[in-house]
């Protein structure tokens, strides 16, 4: 059965396609974009709303009261369902720094959950390991007990335990990082700079080794410092300067306020930015008490004012953003167009994660991951692999 989505404003890349076009999907793929409804097709009336590729979240820890470090298949699927309600059709479950035993358990859980994902929630694109090779000074919410240098015997063991690692965040100033990045590059795993106190030259060494992405730009990331009386540019300056480096930002308007959103847009341009939620379990849930990390051993936090905070309110403790909020913030606070904001959470992350042959725009043969939303970026329908999994 073919499905035709009519009466919509179709977005592909950073462009709004001509009015009157109909999006036709069949067997989980985009068959064509044409004028007129094919004979016998089931019709979905978009009622004047935007029709875009499904949102791709390459950095999320959970949602809907569940965290990927809870260690259960149900937690993975609960988070995937909540994210789908907010337009995400593909996500990359992200770990926290932990023991290797807990990490290996998460590999097993991911593999069981991935077989079930996409049926009533977002599907999974692979795992994002956040740590443990981070700078103590920039640990943020990462447990400092487990921070260490990348040693070949350790990361080779981790890499041997699963084929589902899609991305690994690290601090490039730690000894052994260049060799670590080179190994990830050989395996086509995305290396990403994050939780770092690196200098400009540290970042350049990582770039030359194959790193092309920076994790939650601005957050837990070095800038200009004095060391032995001399000034050194940091990771933020390198991200600005290196055109070949793409960055992700938590565009909730809080972790990255409007003025910094505008600055990075002016310097990097919308084509080099990916929007990410970096969300914890409280995403999509009412404000109030929550837990950062796994239910066992996690940290108590309070969610208020659209962000998670430490219980003493001294610092942020995590994002509660959803993908639709990111797009809305970029439009309303950073001043970009809706198609540009959509590009930053569809085609850009697809390119970064090397899945643009299947995801990220409306081209013939791409996976039929579609989201329909109104002028306020309120999600009306989410479609994964050609099947509707959420309708408002």
The shares of helix, strand and coil residues in the chain, as percent rounded to the nearest 5, are 30, 30, 40
Query: How far is the C-alpha of 362 from the C-alpha of 368, rounded, in Å?
Result: 8
pLDDT 10s digits, 161-209:
999 999 999 999 999 999 999 999 999 999 999 999 999 999 999 999 9
Beta strands across the sheet bearing 307-310: 288-292, 299-304, 307-310, 316-318
**For residue 196, what pLDDT is reported?**
97
Using an 8 Å Cβ cutoff, are 286 and 311 in contact?
A: no
**For residue 1, what pLDDT is reported?**
82
Contacts (Cβ under 8 Å, ≥6 apart) of 201: none
In a domain, 388, yes or no: no
Q: Which residues are 5's β-sheet partners?
A: 23, 44
In a domain, 5, yes or no: no
Which DSSP state fits 271? G
If one counts the domains in the chain, the total is: 1
In a domain, 202, yes or no: yes
pTM of the shown model: 0.96
In a domain, 30, yes or no: no
In a domain, 335, yes or no: yes
Query: How far is the C-alpha of 175 from the C-alpha of 315, rounded, in Å?
Result: 29
**For residue 310, what pLDDT is reported?**
86
In a domain, 374, yes or no: no
Structural tokens at position 202: 């540290």
The DSSP code sequence of 91-150 is EEEB--S--HHHHHHHHHHHHHHHTTTTSSS-EE--EEEE-SS--GGG-TTS-GGG----
H or E, element range at 342: helix 338-343
In a domain, 158, yes or no: yes
- Read off the pLDDT of each residue in 375-392 and give the average, rounded to a whole number: 97
Backbone angles phi, psi at 373, to 5 degrees: -145, 160
**Domain residues for 284?**
54-360
**For residue 318, what pLDDT is reported?**
87
In a domain, 260, yes or no: yes
Mean pLDDT score across all residues of the chain: 96
- Read off the pLDDT of each residue in 237-259 and give the average, rounded to a whole number: 97
**For residue 51, what pLDDT is reported?**
98
Residue 298 has pLDDT above 90, yes or no: no
pLDDT interval class at 290 (50, 70, 90): very high
pLDDT 10s digits, 114-143:
999 989 999 999 999 999 999 999 988 888
Q: Which residues are 124's β-sheet partners?
A: 91
Residue 314 has pLDDT above 90, yes or no: no
If one counts every other C-beta atom within 10 angstroms of the C-beta of residue 156, the result is: 11
If one counts every other C-beta atom within 10 angstroms of the C-beta of residue 34, the result is: 13
CATH of the domain at 59: 3.20.20.140
């Amino acid at each position: 059965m073919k499905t035709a989505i009519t009466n919509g404003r179709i977005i592909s890349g950073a462009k709004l396609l001509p009015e009157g076009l109909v999006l036709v999907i069949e067997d989980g793929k985009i068959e064509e974009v044409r004028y007129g409804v094919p004979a016998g097709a089931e019709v979905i009336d978009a009622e004047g709303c935007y029709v875009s590729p499904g949102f791709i979240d390459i950095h999320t820890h959970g949602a809907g009261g569940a965290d990927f470090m809870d260690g259960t298949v149900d937690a993975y699927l609960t988070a995937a369902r909540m994210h789908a309600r907010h337009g995400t059709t593909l996500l990359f479950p992200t770990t926290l720094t932990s023991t290797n035993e807990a990490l290996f358990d998460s590999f097993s859980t991911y593999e069981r959950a991935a077989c079930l994902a996409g049926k009533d929630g977002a599907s999974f694109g692979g795992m994002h390991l956040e740590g443990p090779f981070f700078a103590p000074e920039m640990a943020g919410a990462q447990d400092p007990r487990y921070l260490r240098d990348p040693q070949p015997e350790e990361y080779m063991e981790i890499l041997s335990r699963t084929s589902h690692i899609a991305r690994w965040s690290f601090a490039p100033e730690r000894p052994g990082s260049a060799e670590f990045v080179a190994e990830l590059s050989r395996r086509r795993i995305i290396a990403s700079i994050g939780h770092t106190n690196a200098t400009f030259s540290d970042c350049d060494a990582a770039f030359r080794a194959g790193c092309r992405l920076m994790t939650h730009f601005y957050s837990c990331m070095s800038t200009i410092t004095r060391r032995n009386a001399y000034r050194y540019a940091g990771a933020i300056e390198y991200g600005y300067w290196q055109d070949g480096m793409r960055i992700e930002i938590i565009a909730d308007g809080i972790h990255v306020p409007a003025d910094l959103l505008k600055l990075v847009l002016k310097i990097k341009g919308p084509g080099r930015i990916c929007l990410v939620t970096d969300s914890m379990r409280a995403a999509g849930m009412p404000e109030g008490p929550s837990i950062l990390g796994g239910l066992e051993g996690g940290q108590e936090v309070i969610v208020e004012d659209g962000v998670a905070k430490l219980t003493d309110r001294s610092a942020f403790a995590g994002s509660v953003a959803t993908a639709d909020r990111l797009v809305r913030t970029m439009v309303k606070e950073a001043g970009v167009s809706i198609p540009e904001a959509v590009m930053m959470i569809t085609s850009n992350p697809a390119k970064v994660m090397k899945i643009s042959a299947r995801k990220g725009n409306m081209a013939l043969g791409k996976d039929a991951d579609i989201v329909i939303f109104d002028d306020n970026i309120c999600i009306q329908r989410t479609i994964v692999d050609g099947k509707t999994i959420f309708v408002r």
